[in-house]
Chain A
Amino acid sequence: MSHHQLDARRMLCPMPVIRTQNFVAKLPAGDTVDVLCTDPGALHDIPAWCRIHGHEIIGTQEQDGELMISVRVGANSD
């Protein structure tokens, strides 16, 4: 099980979601990804995308206008 980081800073929604989707598609269940972004819309969109696709949000952090959304890849990832 590996841990990854994905940089989606300065991208506007829905690009952070698209990047997360394409990145997660290559990962096995159980891996985790910290998605770094700056568009506050991602705080809404990435969790919504995770709910739909059966992934889990394991935490979100905000610091100096930067967000980190941590995702655990679900079993049914496609």
Chain B
Amino acid sequence: MLATQAMLEQGIHVEGINFYTGFCVEGHTHAIRKKDKAKPKRNNALWVAEQLGIKLHIIDVIDEYKDVVINPKHGYGSNMNPCLDCKCFMVRKAHEWIEEHNFDFIITGEVVGQRPMSQRRDTMPVIQRESGAEDRLLRPLCAKILPATLPEREGWVDREKLFGFNGRGRKPQIALAEKMGISDFAQPSGGCCFLTDAAYSGKLADLWSARGERRYELDDIMLLKVGRHLRPRPHFKIIVGREEGENRFLEGYRKQFTHLYTTSHPGPLVLLDGKANDNDLQLAAQLAARFSQGKMAETVRVELHEKGAAKRELDVTPLTNEEIPVEWYL
């Protein structure tokens, strides 16, 4: 946001590009969970673009991004976040975009030293090189402590008016935002991507180890954001809706998954992912009963819709909390 404003103040035409990887933390979770209804559902990138008065192009990179998450050349950060590969990828995509649309250079809001993995002095040139953007990549917020790029050398941009921020502290940025009259500036650190989230990363690692291969579809990574996930056996897990909004979202997956819900008592929708024999289905039904309002009842009736089979009804005793090992919770 600040980097863009700095360019606009130099009279440069800027348009925004936002890449949608499937892991972005945006309206989804708010939209799914009913209790979050009161929170603003704005899309941050659109909101920022509107504040700045620039156009914004949102690009779906879901498929291409898989390779970044599955095989990051530079490895992961503290969770499953392949930040350096991710930056190289995004700048490469941005570079392709500017070539196609006749723009001259790319800017990012990176600051040297701000992130341990992807924004170090020695990784800055890696991004330039591996993205193919080379010296058409300008970082206005720390340009003064980096070698001059093409837009600076050509005089398209006045280097003197750029900045030399460095390190994790955000004070200079906040001061600059104030000077620019920007009071509400969007999410300063990290929280825009589920891959930096430890719980989410754990669920993704579980998915890969259960399948025996590192692969995912958009539905997989969407479902990891929703509900309680429990893996009672290596070959199957269940996803339990935690409230009405999640249940409604999970309903959309009924055709693809074996699913069950309690009929004698109100309860959540439960999806079963994996292969389950009759014992497993019985266990899943007991878990569904545990998360229903019949958890204290002697027996709970569960309707089971096995994929590719006729529906069945099971009368089960709900599991107690003590009977559910904590390791089952993902």
Interface mask (A20-46 → B, CB under 8 Å = 1, otherwise 0): 010000000000000000011100110
Is A12 touching B28 in the complex (CB atoms < 8 A)? yes
Q: Is B60 an interface residue, CB under 8 A from the partner?
A: yes
How far is it, in angstroms, between the C-alpha of A12 and the C-alpha of B252 when the chains are bound? Answer: 12
**Contact in complex: A14, B50 (CB < 8 Å):** no
Please state if B222 and A12 are interface contacts (CB–CB under 8 Å). Answer: yes
Are B58 and A14 touching (Cβ within 8 A)? yes
A-B contacts, CB under 8 A, total: 70
Asked if A58 is at the interface of the complex by the 8 Å CB criterion, the answer is no
- Answer whether A48 and B43 are a contact pair too, CB < 8 Å, given A17-B58, A18-B58: yes
Enumerate chain B residues within 8 angstroms of A1, measured Cβ to Cβ. Answer: none
**Cβ contact within 8 Å between A41 and B27:** yes
B49: chain A residues at CB < 8 Å are 52
Q: Which residues on B sit within 8 Å (CB–CB) of A48? A: 42-43, 46-47, 50
Choose from B37, B42, B252 the contact partner of A45 (Cβ within 8 Å): B42
A52 contact from B32, B40, B56, B60, Cβ within 8 A? B56
Q: How far is the CB of A72 from chain B (nearest CB, A)?
A: 18
- Contacts A39-B31, A51-B50: A14 and B42 contacting too (C-beta < 8 A)? no
Cα-based distance from A10 to B255 in the complex (angstroms) = 14
The contact of B58 among A12, A21, A41, by CB within 8 Å, is: A21
B55 an interface residue at 8 Å Cβ cutoff?
A: yes
**Mostly helix, strand, loop or mixed at chain A's interface?**
helix
Which residue in chain A gives the minimum CB-CB distance to B59? A18
Q: Mark B30-61, 1 if CB is under 8 A from A, else 0.
A: 11100001001111001101100011111110
Asked if residues B43 and A41 are in contact (CB atoms below 8 Å), the reply is yes
From known contacts A13-B43, A15-B60, A49-B56, infer whether A39 and B27 are also in contact, taking CB-CB under 8 Å: yes
- Check if B329 is an interface residue, CB within 8 A of chain A: no
User: In the complex, which of the residues B27, B49, B50, B55 has the most CB atoms of chain A within 10 Å of its own CB atom?
Assistant: B27
Asked if B103 lies at the interface with its beta carbon under 8 angstroms from chain A, I say no
Residue in contact with A14 in the complex, picked from B27, B37, B40, B54, CB distance below 8 Å: B27
Measured CA separation A52–B55 after assembly (Å): 6
B46 touches A49 (CB 8 A): yes
Within 8 A of A (CB), among B52-87: 54-60
Q: Cβ of A13: which chain B residues have Cβ within 8 Å of it?
A: 26-28, 31, 41, 43
Complex contact A40–B31 (CB within 8 A): yes
B60 pairs with A18, CB closer than 8 A: yes
User: Min CB distance, A48 to chain B, in Å?
Assistant: 4
A53: which B residues are within 8 A, CB to CB?
Answer: 55
Q: Is the CB of A12 within 8 A of B27?
A: yes
Assembly CA distance A13 to B58 (angstroms): 11
Does B97 belong to the interface (CB within 8 Å)? no
Inter-chain contacts of B28 with A (CB < 8 A): 12-13, 39, 41
Determine if B46 and A10 form an interchain contact, defined as CB atoms under 8 angstroms apart.
Answer: no
B32 neighbours in A (Cβ, 8 Å): 12
Q: For the complex, what is the distance from the CA of A25 to the CA of B157, rounded to whole Å?
A: 31
Smallest CB–CB gap between B75 and chain A, Å? 28
Chain A min CB distance to B269 (Å): 15
In the assembled complex, how far is the CB of residue A20 from the closest CB belonging to chain B, in whole angstroms?
Answer: 10
- Whether B156 is near chain A, meaning CB under 8 Å from some CB there, is no
Question: Chain A residues with Cβ under 8 A from B42's Cβ?
Answer: 44-45, 48
22 A-B residue pairings within 8 Å (CB atoms): A12-B28, A12-B32, A12-B222, A13-B28, A13-B31, A14-B58, A15-B20, A17-B58, A40-B31, A40-B37, A40-B41, A41-B30, A41-B41, A44-B40, A44-B41, A44-B43, A45-B27, A45-B46, A48-B43, A49-B56, A52-B49, A52-B54
Interface residues of A (CB under 8 A from B): 10, 12-15, 17-18, 21, 39-41, 44-45, 48-49, 51-53, 78
